[in-house]
Chains A and B, each alone.
Chain A
């Protein structure tokens, strides 16, 4: 099993959920947050997830 595939799928899903939620409910912030934490972190998850999937596909 190439672990990059399941990890990539999970992180892409997380990225989509977080970015989606961050866009729909931008007001969902925490007391001290200076950013739209969901959108920022969701973007990070999305990039990591897609890169993992791309690497797994290239290796296969």
Chain B
């Protein structure tokens, strides 16, 4: 694709605005808590959109469009099963403990609720994973821009990393959050026309569905649940139980409820009510996003192989290269001008993901590692300085991780597996910690470690699409996705059971120490005098009903 002056002008304007926002917010940063946690000052509508946007990185955007082309309507599960229920749960049930306790981060909550070793385990694994995720998405962006726009790999990596560095260094978390919302608007406005043009060209909604039905998977590609009875009959190769338990429960709750990357956005809200509502109001845009990020993929599949339309998904080896779905559509539907918008929206999605990683890494490093283990009693200005320096170090480490990824292509697959081992069990620890006062630090720690071990063992003993099975092959899954869901299920269950058993065998903490940290020992947040639609519980019931309706409509 060739870019013209006007496309670059659009991109340059965007850079100017994100840096401008960071610069404007600079004067609000005077303490380490301003820089690292926004001092709990951000209004609700901003935090909820940021909550959604920080997850909408470039890898997610490209990947969801690819999955739309590959799995069709079943891809909606990633939003309606794999995100919305967990977002409602964290808002209604878990936020009171995150926001209500004095914790500044998720690892710090583990320290308050359990003990030092649980915090250390969570903080270190989180810090390492954050840097690698950020590096992997940087690597993906570099490759994409090289392929599509012919930019040199290190130019796009260096440019985007520098811009993110500038606006997070100046304005800290607040700047990252405000920019995430701007980026969210840009992604939506930049890709909505693409979805509309592509679906229109494919013959409207019904025409598009009729076209994809005539392909390899037949009717199964236009239904989300109808063919989920057995893994062989649907394109994803997963059965309903795996979707509900693996994706809908273990993976999704593990991510949305315990991952500091997203929870940090809610904890920056200006009141307890706003913190609880952040993920709940965020669930509404989250529900509609598939129309913009998944539907173009389905349209790409519909347009492929029509003799009257000169478009086809690119081929790699003997299969389609689904990851190129979104960019090839841009080339077909966006002229000079809109192409600049599409390029900017891709850049924006990358930056919102990366800034999320960088700001979460900053806080965990500065508060949970540096202040806890390296230098305890320094004046606050020292930690502000460390926070700022960590921003630079975090960005440099991410670039390093991207460099490693260019050397070993398979490292991305490997890392994603390892992340799965660590993340799978996490939600069991938080669930027991928040709702069972008898759970102990020793129990939680042994649970986490053995859950991670069990997840690794499951992968070592099973095989799917040539993955796993390095110990023995006692079971074969129909797809790698089914395998990853089951790895998570085994990790979670092991952590849950081991935590309970070890907790019962160890000495509980006195109840007085657990006030504000465990459900049964915490006073209910006072019912504020607001209309029903501004209260967490009724609003999440509305969201629940909407989500169920969507599942029924796309049955």
Interface residues of A (CB under 8 A from B): 1, 3, 6-7, 9-11, 13-14, 17-18, 21-22, 25, 28-35, 37-38, 40-42, 44-45, 48
Contact = CB atoms under 8 A, between A and B. Distances in A.
26 contacts: A3-B21, A3-B182, A6-B20, A6-B21, A10-B17, A10-B182, A11-B189, A14-B13, A14-B341, A17-B10, A17-B337, A18-B338, A21-B6, A21-B337, A22-B337, A30-B333, A30-B339, A32-B311, A32-B332, A32-B333, A33-B333, A35-B197, A37-B193, A37-B334, A38-B335, A41-B341
Contact of B332 (A30, A35, A38): A30
Which 7 pairs between the two chains have the least Cβ-Cβ distance?
A38-B337, A32-B332, A28-B335, A41-B193, A21-B337, A30-B335, A10-B17
Interface string B310-336: 110000000000000000000111111
Nearest to A30: B335
B9 interface: yes
B200 interface: yes
Contacts of A28: 335-337
Given A32-B310, A48-B189, A6 B201 contact: no
Contact of A3 (B181, B309, B311): B181
Nearest to B339: A30
Interface in B1-55: 6, 9-10, 13-14, 17, 20-21, 24-25, 46
Interface in B490-544: none
A31 B14 contact: no
A28 B331 CA distance: 13
Interface residues of B, number: 35
A41 B14 CA distance: 17
A29 B9 CA distance: 19
B185 A11 contact: yes
B139 interface: no
Contacts of A1: 21, 24-25, 178
Nearest to A45: B189
Instruction: Please indicate which of the listed interface residues A14, A29, A35, A42 has the most CB atoms of chain B within 10 Å of its own CB.
Output: A14
A26 to B, nearest CB: 10
Contacts of A18: 337-338, 341
A14 B200 CA distance: 24
Contact of A37 (B46, B192, B197, B310): B197
A18 to B, nearest CB: 5
A7 B197 CA distance: 25
A17 B9 contact: yes
B264 to A, nearest CB: 18
A33 B24 CA distance: 40
Contacts of B200: 34
Contacts of B333: 30, 32-33, 37
Given A10-B17, A17-B6, A31 B338 contact: no
A41 to B, nearest CB: 4
